[in-house]
Structure 1
Amino acid sequence: MPRSNIIIIGSGISALTAAYQLSADKNVIIITKSKVTNSNSILAQGGVATSIGKDDSWQSHFKDTVSAGCYHNDETAVDILVKKGPDYLIDLINNGMEFDKDEDENLLLGKEGAHSTRRILHAGGDATGKALVMYMVGKVKERVQIIEDRTAIDFMIENNRCIGVKALASDHTIEEYIADYTILATGGCGGLYSSTSNDKTICGDGLAMAYRAGAKLYDLEFIQFHPTLLHKEGKTCGLVSEAVRGEGAILVDQDCKPIMSGIHPLLDLAPRDVVARAIFNENSRGNKVYLDISMIDDFTVRFPTITNLCIENEIPLERALLPVVPGAHFSMGGVKTDVKGLTSIPSLYAVGEVACTGVHGANRLASNSLLEGIVFGNIVARDILKDYSPNSSFHNSVSNSVHIRYDTLKLPSKAQIQEMMMDNVGIVRNHARLQYAIEWFETYKQEFEGIAPIHLSLEQLELVNMITVGWLIARSAIMRTESRGGHFREDYPAEDNHSWYKKEIIQGKTFETIVYS
């Protein structure tokens, strides 16, 4: 069976960052559900937020992060993110990562929603994630074994310690990967929703695995919906970066009337939850929403990725009105870790979107996700190397065992799960719809309770994971009887002008975190 010092599940920026740092001294294997280029990281258009500008400071970045996070953030984690971020970005630049510059070779800094200044680094205009991922793949490919088309099934736990992972190959054989340390970096769960910016492979697998292993999960109710997904004929066809609004684009209805007037002082650059709900409300009234880009000079040069999306989907750029809808984008909750990435299970780390350090609070600040992957990917690697302890297990299971399929399960389709989540556990929630979703999921949960995931086909495993995580999110959402950030309850609306934020600071009020373990 494959054995290594460290096994990493996933291939986004956090996985690649950790792999690069660890592989200088240790044997590292990356397994990924599809190809190494299938991740949310590679789709990230916006950029990397960091206080690298002359007129910026970590204090300002800290303030913007906790404000967007509705003061639900873990301040220690935020402190680490904003203080270490500039150093790690400078290291990347010094080692050959190229970000966009002006004619005088100064870094071009963009602005996005809820940022108080320009601090967003871009590469290739709106292809920052792709540039970063391909740069890191180039760094690791000669010293890390990357195994594609392997779907992680479950963690292997022995004496309360994680000793590796079982995975299902495309030929329906089960493989066991034994390691001293395991890093979970599978991304979020956007694929649970019918409208999403996420890669097609991202549907909460890592969260379901962690739940089955008994790891603690926090804040699952906080799901960020990106306000602007390109939309045509009832289907989403790609993300329109917030950087477009940062350069002056505004949201309008079919009559070209701005929709953000009077809703938030920052107008179109308000926090994402605010903008997403504004568009949702317009759509609920039967209005269509467009992103007016007429004021942006050289749009096709500045935003080549979005330009190509429009061309591919026959959306005419000459109208300068891009049809948009909100879609599931990012999960602020996840597998609970400390600030070094360690979960509640010894030797199991989690990093990136699947993890919950508390750094994002109730709503992630734009372009903090790639930064999180870079910062905490480095931190996880350093923590593992600092007190490295080999796994003493003498596990005897045979690799490439025959996969026994269980064919009689009655499960909903992927589209049915996505519709259930979008309609009932989506942008605007209430008790009745959440309860309906919980009961619907529990009907199907009864089908697979007691059946080991190793007896499922790839298709069944994905559906079981989606049902499990959908149920967990709905359960978390019904328990949080307030509106905050990415969790909006119309039966518990936020106080006017978000005055409860200030009240919390004055009174030192804290809300009990919902934990599954």
Structure 2
Amino acid sequence: MKTRKTDVLIIGSGLSGLMTAELLSSRKNVMIFTKKRVEDSNSYLAQGGIATAMQETDDWYDHFLDTLQAGCFHNESAATRQLVTDGPEMIQKLVELGVQFDRQSNGTYQYGKEGAHNRARILHIGGDSTGKHLIDTVKKRIIEKDLVVEGETAIKLIVKNNRCVGVWSMDEYGNMTATYAQAVVLATGGLSGLYPLNSNASTITGDGLALAYVAGAELTDLEFIQFHPTLLVNEEGKSVGLVTEAIRGEGAVLVDEYGNRLMKHEHPLEDLAPRDVVSRVLYRARMAGNKTFLDIRSINDFQKRFPTVTRLCKENGVSIEKGLILVAPGAHFTMGGVETDVDGRTSIAGLYAVGEVANTGVHGANRLASNSLLEGVVFANRLAHSIRSETDIALISGLEWEGIEILADSPTYEEIHEIMNNHIGIERDEHGLNQALRWFERYIDTTVIHEFPSLGEIKKRNQILVGWLVAGSALQRTESRGSHYRTDHPYQREKWQQRRVKRRKECYESVKSTAGA
């Protein structure tokens, strides 16, 4: 088996991973592993934009409070404050790297508005192709530095004396390599690919969470999985892409097949309510046998303003001529993950996490729209600073391969995804969660050590393990909060809304006082 050495090894090629590499590469030897191509990430697919309070009429504490309210006050306040206050600085850093955000004719930035934001603060690029442009800009710099190893899958972290010292990986031909590093960074994304209807890149199936758990790292809040209300679906009901929330920010509304406004009396913000609220309304409408549509007839120049969604519709035979786009809620974002501090450190020395795989606590129980790309750059910057300031240690190498656990008996991927969808979906209850837990445990109990596993066997083991972890987390939280909705412990919307407003006022006064505003 081959061996390699580097200062910093980053697993994953989304925005957080690429930014971490860019910010470290002038001071450290950096290597990036990605399962397939650099472009295969959720960041690349992100449409809406990146949220930040930069206008004179906006304040960081308003963005802070919107984030807390969307997160049902489950957020880690110190990390959330870091997220929103570092935002403007990181936007400027992106501009210095060559990112060109959309501007008005007078040269000022264009700002969009999305769900649960109290004002327009979303910067975007190319209308609805923000993620693609961000990745393309940073990727160009990374490729020029020859930092990326494509087609390389991390299969096991190398841990010695509670310190991560490297990674065992496998290429597409089954060749294994041990890569030793002073710092290993997980930037692998979330777990939404475990659901049959999802918005994620095909490579995002929770592998980073499984790597961390097997190594002994702490994972938290895995029950909080955000379902985006508007995934584009074809007539067969299959997801074929995402329909950005920015469209509703421009006036589009959700309707059923009879033209009834679905969000009219469901929330004070109606179609711009938090994603957990909107997703449940659409889910119930569809469960009742109704089709759900995004009505875009009020938006002028739709094709020019939203070229990515227009292209997705045309490529998949979805007509936009009548002004109605067939949509459905689907798994979108993982709020929980590998627990970290604000500098990306996990519970294992030498192991860091950033982006969606990490749980800094900034998203709480439900992520605020367009905070994910912001999280990626803000915490990549903090993580890079943390690694730069660490004292170099002697590399440990030459450790022998000890094999890896795989399943002696395994289900199909379709069976795994149906269990997730049926029992750990938009709505859950104790009976269904117990069923899922027992189902996953049946396979986990068959694990055996294999010296030369295939990538398929490892991927299957990881999905079973992550599904089991999510089921267990969801079973333990008996309240309903944000994206985690227990039908056997539901909250009354009116009381919860009053609670949100009260908490917002309390936080507003506290934060303004602290900030001297």
Letter paired with 1:166: W
Residue 475 of structure 1 is matched in structure 2 by 472
Query: What is the CA–CA distance in structure 2 between the aligned matches of 1:333 and 1:111, rounded to whole Å?
Result: 25
TM-score, length-scaled by structure 1: 0.94
- Please show how residues 128-143 of structure 1 align to structure 2 within 5 Å: 128-143=130-145
SS of match in other structure, 1:330: strand
State the Cα distance separating 1:51 from its structure 2 match.
0.5
Query: What is the CA–CA distance in structure 2 between the aligned matches of 1:506 and 1:84, rounded to whole Å?
Result: 23
| 2:295 equivalent to 1:295 | no
| 2:468 equivalent to 1:465 | no
SS of match in other structure, 2:321: helix
State the Cα distance separating 1:500 from its structure 2 match.
4.5
Q: Is the 8 A contact 1:5 1:28 kept in 2?
A: yes
Letter paired with 1:309: L
Query: What is the CA–CA distance in structure 1 between the aligned matches of 2:251 and 2:60, rounded to whole Å?
Result: 25
- Worse-superposed segment, 182-191 or 458-467: 458-467
1:236-293 CA distance string (max 9 Å, x none): 1100000010010000000011000111000000000000000001011111100000
Residue 422 of structure 2 is matched in structure 1 by 423
- Worse-superposed segment, 87-96 or 146-155: 87-96
State the Cα distance separating 1:84 from its structure 2 match.
0.5
Select which of 263, 266, 272 maps to 1:263.
266
Residue 363 of structure 1 is matched in structure 2 by 366
Residue 440 of structure 1 is matched in structure 2 by 439
State the Cα distance separating 1:395 from its structure 2 match.
2.5
- Please show how residues 68-147 of structure 1 align to structure 2 within 5 Å: 68-147=70-149
Residue 310 of structure 1 is matched in structure 2 by 313
1:356-375 CA distance string (max 9 Å, x none): 00010000000000000000
SS of match in other structure, 1:317: coil
Query: What is the CA–CA distance in structure 1 between the aligned matches of 2:55 and 2:338, rounded to whole Å?
Result: 33
* Cα 1:304–1:114 shift into 2, 3 Å: same
| 2:344 equivalent to 1:341 | yes
- Please show how residues 15-414 of structure 1 align to structure 2 within 5 Å: 15-232=17-234, 233-397=236-400, 409-414=408-413
Letter paired with 2:145: R
Q: Is the 8 A contact 2:157 2:166 kept in 1?
A: yes
Residue 484 of structure 1 is matched in structure 2 by 481
* Cα 1:250–1:92 shift into 2, 3 Å: same
SS of match in other structure, 2:446: helix
CA RMSD of aligned residues (A): 1.9
State the Cα distance separating 1:389 from its structure 2 match.
2.2
SS of match in other structure, 2:229: strand
SS of match in other structure, 2:81: helix
SS of match in other structure, 2:445: helix
Q: Is the 8 A contact 1:238 1:309 kept in 2?
A: yes
- Runs of 4+ in structure 1 displaced over 6 angstroms? 403-406, 502-508
1:444-496 CA distance string (max 9 Å, x none): 11122x425x6421111111111100110010001100000110001111134
Q: Is the 8 A contact 2:65 2:504 kept in 1?
A: no
Query: What is the CA–CA distance in structure 1 between the aligned matches of 2:454 and 2:253, rounded to whole Å?
Result: 46
Q: Is the 8 A contact 1:4 1:29 kept in 2?
A: yes
State the Cα distance separating 1:121 from its structure 2 match.
0.6
* Cα 1:392–1:178 shift into 2, 3 Å: closer
SS of match in other structure, 1:221: coil
Query: What is the CA–CA distance in structure 1 between the aligned matches of 2:221 and 2:436, rounded to whole Å?
Result: 18
TM-score, length-scaled by structure 2: 0.94
Residue 511 of structure 1 is matched in structure 2 by none
Query: What is the CA–CA distance in structure 1 between the aligned matches of 2:502 and 2:87, rounded to whole Å?
Result: 30
Uncovered stretches (5+) of structure 2, i.e. residues with no partner? 508-517
Letter paired with 2:69: S
Q: Is the 8 A contact 2:97 2:138 kept in 1?
A: no
Uncovered stretches (5+) of structure 1, i.e. residues with no partner? 509-517
SS of match in other structure, 1:220: coil
Letter paired with 1:469: V
State the Cα distance separating 1:157 from its structure 2 match.
0.4
Query: What is the CA–CA distance in structure 2 between the aligned matches of 1:458 and 1:154, rounded to whole Å?
Result: 12
Query: What is the CA–CA distance in structure 1 between the aligned matches of 2:267 and 2:84, rounded to whole Å?
Result: 26
* Cα 1:40–1:212 shift into 2, 3 Å: same
Query: What is the CA–CA distance in structure 1 between the aligned matches of 2:157 and 2:256, rounded to whole Å?
Result: 48
Query: What is the CA–CA distance in structure 1 between the aligned matches of 2:247 and 2:93, rounded to whole Å?
Result: 28
State the Cα distance separating 1:501 from its structure 2 match.
4.2
Residue 510 of structure 2 is matched in structure 1 by none
Q: Is the 8 A contact 2:180 2:395 kept in 1?
A: no
State the Cα distance separating 1:325 from its structure 2 match.
0.4
1:64-94 CA distance string (max 9 Å, x none): 0000000000000001000001111012113
Query: What is the CA–CA distance in structure 2 between the aligned matches of 1:507 and 1:372, rounded to whole Å?
Result: 25
Count of aligned pairs: 502
Letter paired with 1:438: L
Q: Is the 8 A contact 1:405 1:455 kept in 2?
A: no
Query: What is the CA–CA distance in structure 2 between the aligned matches of 1:334 and 1:95, rounded to whole Å?
Result: 29
